[in-house]
Amino acid sequence: MGRALRSRTRATPKKVEESDGGQTNQQESRLDAGTRINLIRAFLAMPPIEQAQQIRQGIDANVACSVSKDLLNVSLPDLLRSLRLSPSAVRRKIASGKRLSVSESDLIARTMMIYELATDVLEDPNLANEWMVKRNILLGDEAPLDMLDTQSGYDCVRNILLRVAYGVGV
C-alpha cells in the first residue's frame, strides 16, 4: 500500500510564496523546474486545513505550469482544457506573477492531490502519469484528469484509486 494511505506526521512548511519578479513569455513559467516542484511539495506537505487556507488565498499561478510539465507531462493548454480553465487568464496570471483565483486554485489542488494518490497507489510516477490521462471505462470513458473539474468527478477518481489500493473489486 502506498505512503499516502498510511498515517504520517506532516511537517508544517512555510506558506507557498509568490514568485520572484523575473520575466517570462506566455508559454513558460517564471520559475525553474526545481522551484516549481518545491511549491507542489510544500502544498502537499501541508495539513488539510492549511491546504484549504492556501487555496482560499490563491495558489501561485506558476504551480499550474509545474503540474502540467513536472507532474503530468502534458502541455499547459491540455491541463487547462481538462480542468475547464481559461488558458488566457492563467497565462496572464503566470506572466504577471499573480495568484490563481479560489476556484482555479481548487482545481489545481485537486489535480495535485489525485496525482499524489495515484503515484502512491500505483507506486510509479510514470504509471500515475499514464493513468491520469488514459480513458477509463469506470469514468464513462473519460480520463481521470478530465473528471477533476467537479467535486463529484474528483470523488469518483479518488474512489477508484482507493478501491485499487485496498484490493476492492472495481
Q: How do residues 14-71 score in pLDDT, each as one tens digit?
A: 333 333 333 334 344 566 777 778 888 999 999 999 999 999 999 999 999 999 998 9
Closest CA to 111 of 88, 82, 139, 134: 82
Task: Answer positive or negative: Cα dihedral of 66, 72, 78, 82.
Answer: negative
pLDDT above 90: percentage of residues in the chain? 73
Q: What integer pLDDT is reported at residue 56 of this predicted model?
A: 98
Q: What integer pLDDT is reported at residue 35 of this predicted model?
A: 78
CA atoms within 13 A on the CB side of 124: 5
Residue 170's pLDDT band (cuts 50, 70, 90): low
Q: How far apart are the C-alpha atoms of 79 and 108, rounded to whole Å?
A: 9
Please state the φ and ψ torsions of residue 123, each to the nearest 5 degrees: 60, 30
* Model confidence at 2: pLDDT above 90: no
Q: Taking residues 131-155, what's their average pLDDT?
A: 97
Q: What integer pLDDT is reported at residue 50 of this predicted model?
A: 97
* Model confidence at 149: pLDDT above 70: yes
* Model confidence at 95: pLDDT above 80: yes
The mean pLDDT value of the chain amounts to 85
Higher pLDDT: 32 or 125? It is 125
Q: What integer pLDDT is reported at residue 36 of this predicted model?
A: 75
* Model confidence at 98: pLDDT above 70: yes
Closest CA to 122 of 144, 142, 106: 144
